[in-house]
């Protein structure tokens, strides 16, 4: 979403300037063309050369610099921007913006831009809660400026509380969300992700290799596109995407309950979870002790959540995943038909770069009318975007019918 987008990163002075370096790295990695403006105070903390090297663009510092004004002046910088981020933003910069003071390159360029301005404040907790600051922030919010609130924690000044610059990933996420077209506005998307765990006894369980990466990428992308997102997740070690409603579950039975309790309000359900098909007949209360001979576990079938969703009379747009090791297309087509789905994502999980526990995936998308779309090897993030492009297109066709 940020590919070739022009972003201005305004950096004002505070100890958190070093975190702006990480934010710049995230932005450029995502393909954004970033121009950095640093205030004089910011340059006391980190040298402009660091930002220049990472952005591959000269760092802008002076309003009255004849050479840089001739090459790319502050008005042309302001005009080019798709998004203007100020991180860290001091109480001083925010105060100036709120009062219309433009007395350096950063404030002048903000004043001249028509782009959305995303402000990530960082300051001492008492400054942050000071009514003067609160008024300034409120005024800017009313005028359409966006804020990424600071986090609570130990502050550089020794105080504890709110005022710590938000994590670079959080600011990055807010920037991406701002630049993503809101194609899923009005949709409620439920995504299931990760494995399920079927307990054998207090220390052992049956599970699978699912990392949850595909489901989390889908939830993140749907959230960026303006959908209300409910993420029903089995046990994974991933941070939930900001803004999604996270419901954590362990077993297939719990996942079923969580999904069926929420499906009523959903317009789209994407079942990316690798649900265990079987669970032990009984979960032992005490740890099973080692025996001399063989141990036999009796397993019973778990509910097929997706098939149950497919049987609902009023059902949302249903997307399933098919994890196959052979006969990929035939296996997926059978699941599409038998579970009464609108779309299925067929994964050959025997491929080392696709399926479980990797960052990439290659898939085929199969539809009810027999269409098949081949998706070459790509990142799970990219595949999530592609899947949601099709979901959006299919949902809007369905609405028009
Ligand atoms: N699924 C489900 N509930 C189950 C099993 C699977 O909702 N108890 C869903 C998965 O989330 C996925 C789809 O059904 O979207 C297909 O899962 P998959 O494991 O590929 O297929 P199964 O139906 O379990 O069949 P098999 O394991 O025999 O391939």
pLDDT tens digits for range 43-74: 999 999 999 999 999 999 987 665 566 666 66
Q: Would you say the CB of residue 319 lies under 6 angstroms from ligand 1?
A: no
Q: Would you say the CB of residue 309 lies under 6 angstroms from ligand 1?
A: no
How is 81-121 classified by DSSP, letter by letter?
-SEEEEEEE-HHHHHHHHHT---SHHHHHHHH--SEEEEEE
- E strands along 256-359, which residues? 268-271, 278-280, 299-301, 317-324, 343-348
Beta bridge partners, 347, equal: 323, 363
Residue 382 has pLDDT above 80, yes or no: yes
pLDDT at res. 67 = 59
Topology alike, domains 6-179 and 188-284+295-400: yes
Residue 75 has pLDDT above 80, yes or no: no
Topology, domain 6-179: Rossmann fold (3.40.50)
Instruction: Tell me which of 64 and 220 has the higher pLDDT.
Output: 220
Q: Which of 5, 8, 15 is nearest to 150 (CA)?
A: 15
Q: What is the pLDDT of residues 1-41, one digit of tens each?
A: 899 999 999 999 999 999 999 999 999 999 999 999 999 99
Q: What is the pLDDT of residues 141-179, one digit of tens each?
A: 999 999 999 999 888 878 888 899 999 999 999 999 999
| Peptide bond connecting 284 to the previous residue in cis, omega within 30 degrees of 0 | no
What does the alpha-carbon distance between residue 318 and residue 336 come to, in Å, rounded to a whole number?
A: 10
Residue 201 has pLDDT above 80, yes or no: yes
Residue carrying the six token digits 């804020």: 147
Look at ligand 1, atom 21, and give the residue with the nearest C-alpha: 322
Q: Return the ligand 1 atom nearest residue 322 CA.
A: 20
Q: Would you say the CB of residue 381 lies under 6 angstroms from ligand 1?
A: no
- How far, in Å, is the centroid of ligand 1 from the Cα of 341? 12
- How far, in Å, is the centroid of ligand 1 from the Cα of 2? 34
Mean pLDDT of 209-230: 96
pLDDT at res. 70 = 60
pLDDT at res. 356 = 81
Q: Would you say the CB of residue 234 lies under 6 angstroms from ligand 1?
A: no
Q: In whole numbers, what is the pLDDT of the chain averaged over residues? A: 93
Q: Return the ligand 1 atom nearest residue 307 CA.
A: 7
User: Sorting pLDDT into bands at 50, 70 and 90, what band is 281?
Assistant: very high
Among 255, 271, 272, say which to mutate for ligand 1: greatest number of ligand atoms within 8 Å of CB.
271
- The pTM score is 0.88
pLDDT at res. 69 = 62
Q: Would you say the CB of residue 308 lies under 6 angstroms from ligand 1?
A: no
Angle made by CA atoms 127, 133, 136, in degrees to the nearest 5: 165
Mean pLDDT of 327-337: 94
Residue 229 has pLDDT above 80, yes or no: yes
Mean pLDDT of 271-292: 95
pLDDT at res. 72 = 62
Catalytic residue flag (residue 375): no
Among 259, 260, 304, 340, say which to mutate for ligand 1: greatest number of ligand atoms within 8 Å of CB.
304
How is 147-198 classified by DSSP, letter by letter?
E-PPEEEE-TTS-EEEEEPPPHHHHHHHHHHHHS--TTTT-EEEEEESB--E
Look at ligand 1, atom 9, and give the residue with the nearest C-alpha: 306
Instruction: Tell me which of 253 and 360 has the higher pLDDT.
Output: 253
Q: Return the ligand 1 atom nearest residue 306 CA.
A: 7
- The percentage of residues in the chain with a pLDDT greater than 70, rounded to a whole number, is 97
pLDDT at res. 63 = 76
- How far, in Å, is the centroid of ligand 1 from the Cα of 274? 7
Mean pLDDT of 79-88: 94
Domain spans of the chain? 6-179, 188-284+295-400
Among 197, 209, 277, say which to mutate for ligand 1: greatest number of ligand atoms within 8 Å of CB.
277
User: Sorting pLDDT into bands at 50, 70 and 90, what band is 348?
Assistant: confident
pLDDT at res. 158 = 82
Q: Return the ligand 1 atom nearest residue 320 CA.
A: 15
Residue 107 has pLDDT above 90, yes or no: yes
pLDDT at res. 232 = 98
Residue carrying the six token digits 């209360």: 285
Q: Which contiguous run of DSSP H or E holds residue 24?
A: helix 17-29
99, 157, 375, 397: the catalytic one is 157
Query: Which of these CATH numbers, 3.40.50.10300, 3.90.230.10, 3.40.50.740, 3.40.50.720, describes 188-284+295-400?
Result: 3.40.50.10300
- The percentage of residues in the chain with a pLDDT greater than 90, rounded to a whole number, is 84
pLDDT at res. 161 = 86
Say whether 401 sits in a helix, a strand or coil.
Answer: coil
Q: Would you say the CB of residue 172 lies under 6 angstroms from ligand 1?
A: no
User: Sorting pLDDT into bands at 50, 70 and 90, what band is 124?
Assistant: very high
């Amino acid at each position: 979403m940020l590919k070739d987008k022009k972003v201005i990163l305004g950096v004002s002075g505070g100890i958190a300037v070093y975190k702006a370096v990480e934010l710049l790295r995230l932005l450029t990695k995502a393909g954004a063309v970033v121009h950095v403006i640093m205030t004089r105070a910011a340059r006391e903390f980190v040298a402009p050369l660091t930002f220049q090297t990472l952005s591959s663009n000269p760092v802008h510092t002076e309003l009255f610099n004849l050479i840089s004004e001739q090459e790319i002046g502050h008005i042309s910088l302001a005009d080019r921007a798709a998004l203007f981020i100020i991180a860290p933003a001091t109480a001083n910069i925010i105060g100036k913006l709120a009062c219309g003071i433009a007395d350096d390159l950063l404030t002048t360029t903000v004043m001249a831009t028509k782009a959305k301005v995303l402000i990530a404040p960082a300051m001492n907790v008492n400054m942050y809660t000071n009514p003067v600051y609160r008024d300034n922030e409120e005024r800017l919010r009313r005028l359409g400026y966006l804020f990424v609130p600071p986090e609570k924690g130990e502050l550089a000044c020794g105080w504890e509380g709110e005022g710590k610059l938000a994590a670079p990933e959080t600011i990055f996420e807010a920037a991406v969300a701002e630049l993503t077209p809101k194609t899923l506005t009005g949709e409620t998307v439920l995504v299931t992700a990760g494995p399920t765990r079927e307990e054998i006894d207090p220390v052992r369980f049956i599970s699978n290799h699912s990392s949850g990466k595909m489901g989390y990428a889908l939830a993140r992308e749907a959230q960026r596109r303006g959908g209300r997102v409910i993420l029903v997740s089995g046990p994974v070690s991933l941070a939930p995407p900001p803004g999604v409603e996270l419901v954590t579950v362990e077993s297939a039975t719990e996942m079923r309950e969580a999904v069926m309790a929420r499906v009523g309000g959903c317009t789209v359900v994407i079942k990316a979870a690798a649900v265990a098909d079987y669970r032990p007949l009984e979960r032992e209360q005490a740890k099973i002790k080692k025996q001399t001979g063989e141990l036999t576990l009796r397993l019973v079938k778990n509910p097929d959540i997706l098939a149950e969703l497919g049987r609902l009379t009023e059902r949302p747009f249903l997307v399933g995943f098919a994890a196959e090791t052979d006969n990929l297309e035939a296996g997926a087509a059978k699941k599409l038909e038998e579970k009464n789905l609108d779309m299925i994502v067929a994964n050959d999980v025997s491929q080392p770069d696709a399926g479980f526990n990797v960052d990439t995936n290659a898939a085929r998308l199969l539809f009810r009318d027999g269409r098949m779309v081949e998706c070459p090897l790509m990142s799970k993030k990219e595949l999530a975007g592609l899947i949601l492009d099709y979901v959006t297109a299919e949902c809007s066709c369905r609405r028009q019918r």
